Amino acid sequence: MHTDVNPLKPIWASGRAAVGTYIMYSRDVTTIQIAAAAGLDFVLFDMEHRPHDFETIHDLCQVARLAGMAPLVGPQDISAFAISHVLDMGASGVVIPHVETPEDVAVAISAILYPPHGRRGRCGQAGHNLYSPTRSVADEVSHYDSDVALLLKVESESAIGRLEELVAPDAVAGVMIGPSDLSMDMEIPGQTGHERILRLFDRVADVCRQRGIQYGIAVSSADDVSRAIEAGATWVMVGSEMELLTRGWKQASAARPE
């Protein structure tokens, strides 16, 4: 049984980049098993925009952890319950949406860390320890405090402008840009490849490198992975199960003779 809460930590410690994907709609544990069998390092669930409920997130996180992958969850908002609850269900880390202020970061830190460093409550035998606690409570708390990944998603120009302040706390493990919402914020909706946005990607990469934390990028296809890593990314999200199925099926449909 894989007992470490976050399989990404040894990957990052070795200097390698982690590759994963979004799971947008699938509720089938087989999807997670296929992702693991394909060699992905993590799966990311988005509770802000997608229909998964807590029971589904629990089940998929459990399968991912048992398969040796890191399940990351984007909670629906920045609140103590939304963050700590998905960790109790087995998430290896959280990707906090729409981070704008140091106060937002402080809420997230308090939710992921146990006392005295935060206010996360311990729920005993549960999803976070795969229903089989193998450590003492003190060791478990120490392990989770050090290994659960707090990852920030910045989705506005103002947030990126104050990024050094947002990532100052030691508990912050990494950052990614939400390119679609950033384009909306910058009044160039959908133009995620615009030079103004690309400059902000470079800024986030530079801040992560200077701070020694993990820089995340979402890309649309496997062809983009090596370029993302060359640009400094250490966690790369490649599309989603929905996008990959759509692309494959469209290619199949287009391949039939006229």
Domains and CATH numbers, the chain: 8-251 (3.20.20.60)
- Residue 183's nearest CA partner among 172, 169, 198 is 198
pLDDT along the chain (258 residues), means of 10: 85 97 96 97 96 96 97 97 97 98 98 96 92 91 96 96 98 95 93 92 96 96 93 96 93 91
Structure tokens of 174?
């990494």
User: Could you give the 3-state DSSP secondary structure of residue 224?
Assistant: helix
Report pLDDT for 235.
98
Rounded CA-CA distance 59/73 in Å is: 13
Rounded to two decimals, the pTM is: 0.94
Report pLDDT for 119.
96
Q: What is the DSSP string of 167-206?
A: T-STTEEEEEE-HHHHHHHTT-TT-TT-HHHHHHHHHHHH
Rounded CA-CA distance 255/258 in Å is: 9
Report pLDDT for 2.
62
Q: Are 206 and 213 in contact (CB under 8 A)?
A: no
